[in-house]
Structure 1
Amino acid sequence: MMKKNRFINLALVSVIAFALIGCGSTAATKPADTAGSDSAKKPSVTVKLSSTSSKGGAMYEGAMKFKELVEERSKGDIAVQVFPDGQLAKDLAAIDAHKTGAIHLSLPSTAMAQIDPKFGVFDIPFLFKDAAAVTKFAHGEMWTKEFQPLFEQYGMYGLGFWENGFRHITNNKRPINVPEDLKGIKIRVPESKLRVAMFKEFGANPSTSDFSEVFTALQQGVFDGQENPFVQIEAGRFAEIQKYLSLTNHTYTPAYLVASKVWFDKLKPEQQEILKKAAVDAGDFTREYGAKVEGELLAKFKAAGMTVNTADVAAFQDKTGPVIDLLKESIDPAFVDKVVKTAKE
């Protein structure tokens, strides 16, 4: 059934993509502002970048920076159209569409763990101690030699290790200071077996859904709370409908700029190099952006009326052992240990 659904999603995405090519953008699939392109030269390549992130999110802002860098460095030869808010496709459908080149680029995050369990290591609680450790990992050999080659098995190239951010918990029931405070709380988590297992271990009642559906689900009481980085809390407008914000830093979630292999291989080498370099530089931008806006957003959330508390991180760390053991049941334990060691260096 899953394969059948994936096939249907891929077919729908292909129809949308080709309709866009033939008819131009519609109101439902209007790309982000294309200002900044070199209008004096008609591009030979137009890139469609799909993202589920909204304006203000690190992934969205990174996508716009990527667009700026590519169009500037290619001198107008390459144009980038950014489609936010899942307008073209949700993460898994976009990944399927990469197999045919119906979508050129996308920005999956936690969804990659459904494609290959090795990406589940980034759901390990408290894997990275701070932003500096993340940046070091993003430019290190573990990423370039162990993770980037994984994408090719699934018809993609992994171009960049981007920011999604350290995650925190919001809810409408009570402040979360220790794991026991999560007991009975219906919390939305992304599609990740490990994230579900982690919050069950903490005592919550976790369920999965796509990010684009979270605001409505919280508004309707389907969920009591959710967990996301500051930039995604802002992009999702969760401060409008959530009373409590608990600072936990429980997981760092990367995003990945990925390209359709069948499409990317048709580009000229110089075009490929421009996209590769811009992907790395835009990834650095997303981390800088996240650090810059974190303090501003926290002040904004407080001003919006959210009650903010700092959780007892040690109490949460005491509950993470079984989660890592669960991960090692589906991934080579030596690989897990190597990632943990690299992240701590």
Structure 2
Amino acid sequence: MLVVSRRSLLKSAAGLVAAGSLLKSPAVLAQAAPLKLKFGNDLPATHTVNLRLKEAIEAIGAETKGQLTISLFPNNQLGSDTDMMTQLRSGALELATMPSTVLSTLIPAASLTGVGFAFTNYDKVWAAMDGEVGKYIRGSIEKVGLVPFEAMWDNGFRQITSSTHPISSPEDLKNFKIRVPVVPLWVALFSAFGAAPVSIPLNEAYSALQTKIADGQENPLALIESAKFYEVQKYCSLTNHSWDGFWLLSSQRIWKTVPKELQEVMQKHFNAAARKQRDDIVQANAEYRKNLESKGLAFNETKADAFQAALAKTSFYKDAKTKFGDEAWTLLQKYAGNIG
């Protein structure tokens, strides 16, 4: 007959309790089953955003010793921007970068920085986005079940390309068939100039230009190069008509389940990568122009004052102020100056 002492029994019980507590700890759970997240966006794999994201994802994996792995799916592999926003909110997709103007179809305040000719240089842009304007927009994003990371990524100042003629003055936009994102603000912007904007997702833009559904499009130089629009366009007019950035977003449903220490690692590396990517765009713009010129794209400069004056004669700025509200408009003008 086996005899078990009371002391031995208590020791065994204590061991089981300790083991149970250990198994419940996030670190052990992570080691047993690494957390795997999907990251989607609409940009080509060669775009500077995806290059910096890849570096950040590798750094996150290294620091967490494999406890957190993130798989990047560029170029709309997980669906259109609208699809990915729906997936983020439901928790089917964990992470994504989203252009602010596209995000504005769900959160109107997100397109505040895309108002035509509001910003004239990067000093104003980053003062606003790292300051009160960014804070205001993040608050609006959080209300719809998304978690915005603090540092915004640069999509750059937008330029107009064309297969028919250069855009040198506001008059050159009249009846011009231009592809724009599925964003009401930019439809309104080009409509105000008398153009004929066509809303087409980015992954369909090349074929739309190739088949003449649109004669032109507008995007930053980095995207014009990475999407190879120079193959179906002849002219690039440096209008700087609008600035846009990318928000790095997490599904709120998923974010709440991620251990705090892993959240902090992601915040650290993704925010640092965003600031590196900002520098990439500034340094690369001159190179982008040289490369695009070597591929046959003809560049021309424009005067922003002429376009802004023409826009001010329409109801565009008045309508934008009504849409965004007095609080948002006051914050925008604090950094951009008096517009409209």
- After TM superposition, the score normalised by the length of structure 2 is 0.85
Q: Which amino acid aligns with 1:186?
A: K
Q: Point out 4+ residue stretches in structure 1 off by more than 4 angstroms.
A: none
Aligned to 2:147: 157
Change (3 A) 1:243 1:338: same
1:166-217 per-position Cα deviation (integer Å, ceiling 9, x unaligned): 0000001111110101122100011221211111122211111110100011
Q: CA deviation at 1:318?
A: 0.7
Q: How does 1:109-128 map to 2 (within 5 A)?
A: 109=99, 110-128=101-119
1:114-142 per-position Cα deviation (integer Å, ceiling 9, x unaligned): 11111121221122221232233332233
CA distance in 2, matches of 1:42, 1:84: 29
Q: Which amino acid aligns with 1:101?
A: G
Q: Which amino acid aligns with 1:122?
A: T
CA distance in 2, matches of 1:201, 1:245: 21
Q: Which amino acid aligns with 1:78?
A: L
Aligned to 2:277: 286
Aligned to 1:48: 38
2:340 aligned with 1:342, yes or no? Answer: no
Aligned to 2:257: 266
Determine which of 244, 247, 256 is the counterpart of 1:253: 244
Helix, strand or coil for the counterpart of 2:98?
coil
Q: Which amino acid aligns with 2:317?
A: I
Q: Which amino acid aligns with 2:83?
A: A
Change (3 A) 1:265 1:218: same
Change (3 A) 1:177 1:78: same
Aligned to 1:38: none
Please tell me whether the aligned partners of residues 52 and 211 of structure 1 are also in contact (alpha carbons under 8 angstroms).
yes
Aligned to 1:208: 199
Q: Which amino acid aligns with 1:340?
A: Q
Change (3 A) 1:208 1:80: same
CA RMSD of superposed structures (Å): 1.8
Q: CA deviation at 1:343?
A: 4.0
Aligned to 1:324: 317
CA distance in 1, matches of 2:97, 2:311: 28
Helix, strand or coil for the counterpart of 2:182?
coil
Please tell me whether the aligned partners of residues 128 and 332 of structure 2 are also in contact (alpha carbons under 8 angstroms).
no
CA distance in 1, matches of 2:108, 2:220: 22
Q: CA deviation at 1:312?
A: 2.1
Q: CA deviation at 1:42?
A: 8.2
Helix, strand or coil for the counterpart of 2:155?
strand
Determine which of 76, 79, 91 is the counterpart of 1:86: 76
- After TM superposition, the score normalised by the length of structure 1 is 0.84
Helix, strand or coil for the counterpart of 1:114?
coil
Determine which of 75, 93, 102 is the counterpart of 1:103: 93
Change (3 A) 1:139 1:72: farther
User: Once the two structures are aligned, what percentage of the paired residues are identical?
Assistant: 29
Please tell me whether the aligned partners of residues 179 and 316 of structure 1 are also in contact (alpha carbons under 8 angstroms).
yes
1:211-270 per-position Cα deviation (integer Å, ceiling 9, x unaligned): 010001100110000000011101211011100000011100011000000001001011
> How many residues align structurally?
304
Q: Once structures 1 and 2 are overlaid, which stretch shifts more, 121-130 or 135-144?
A: 135-144
Structure showing greater radius of gyration is 2
CA distance in 2, matches of 1:173, 1:290: 28
Q: CA deviation at 1:153?
A: 1.5
Aligned to 2:161: 170
Q: Which amino acid aligns with 1:49?
A: F
Helix, strand or coil for the counterpart of 1:54?
coil
2:58 aligned with 1:68, yes or no? Answer: yes
Q: Which amino acid aligns with 2:191?
A: K
CA distance in 1, matches of 2:317, 2:55: 35
Q: CA deviation at 1:151?
A: 1.7
Q: CA deviation at 1:294?
A: 0.8
Q: Which amino acid aligns with 1:69?
A: A
Change (3 A) 1:43 1:250: farther
Aligned to 1:183: 174
Please tell me whether the aligned partners of residues 154 and 278 of structure 2 are also in contact (alpha carbons under 8 angstroms).
yes
CA distance in 2, matches of 1:290, 1:71: 26
Q: CA deviation at 1:282?
A: 1.7
CA distance in 1, matches of 2:132, 2:331: 12
